[in-house]
């Protein structure tokens, strides 16, 4: 039963961390709604597939460590043995939790090199969205609160 609870906790952690953050151009953060944005016209020069590395907030390590320590401490015979096993399994749980968080928050993305009408160039990395952009596409760069996203021009 305790093993099932530990596995359920790790699964819940993985699912919740995977939904924490995105750089998708199709997802607008609540704080960016109803804000004035700067819009610039441009043309896509290059498109390159990249991977945005996952985050390591420490939450995965903390949850994994506590889960491992509790599960490990309940396995030992005597108090000293139980504490030692709890410590070792807690460290292993922290390492595993950190890795799970990092993998769950990774995302496939696109690096776009865009030439603006004035001749300046901008590079933007954003998660893959519903629109597929290719070199030569006319686009708009939308800047809101220091964050930029690229969309096909209307």
> pLDDT digits over 109-153, tens only?
899 999 999 999 999 999 888 899 999 999 999 999 888 999 999
Q: How far, in Å, CA of 128 to CA of 69, rounded?
A: 38
Structure-token match 């700067």, residue found: 38
Closest CA to 96 of 130, 62, 143: 62
Closest CA to 135 of 48, 60, 28, 68: 48
What was the pLDDT predicted at 63? 67
pLDDT of 19 above 60: no
CA angle 81, 86, 88 (to 5 degrees): 95
More confident residue, 105 or 15: 105
SS3 53: coil
Tell me which of 13-17, 60-64, 150-154 is least confident: 13-17
Contact 131, 102 (CB under 8 A): no
């Amino acid at each position: 039963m305790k093993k099932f609870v530990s596995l359920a906790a790790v699964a819940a952690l993985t699912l919740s961390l995977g939904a924490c953050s995105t750089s998708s151009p199709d997802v607008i953060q609540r704080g960016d709604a109803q804000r004035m944005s700067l819009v610039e016209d441009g043309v896509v020069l290059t498109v390159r597939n990249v991977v945005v590395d996952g985050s390591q907030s420490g939450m995965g390590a903390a949850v994994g460590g506590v889960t491992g320590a509790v599960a490990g401490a309940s396995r030992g015979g005597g108090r000293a043995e139980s504490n030692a096993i709890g410590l070792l399994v807690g460290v292993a749980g922290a390492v595993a939790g950190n890795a799970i968080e990092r993998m769950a928050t990774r995302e496939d993305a696109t690096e776009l090199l865009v030439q603006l009408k004035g001749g300046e160039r901008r590079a933007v990395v954003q998660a893959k969205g519903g629109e597929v952009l290719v070199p030569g596409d006319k686009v708009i760069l939308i800047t809101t609160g220091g964050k930029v996203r690229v969309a096909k021009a209307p």
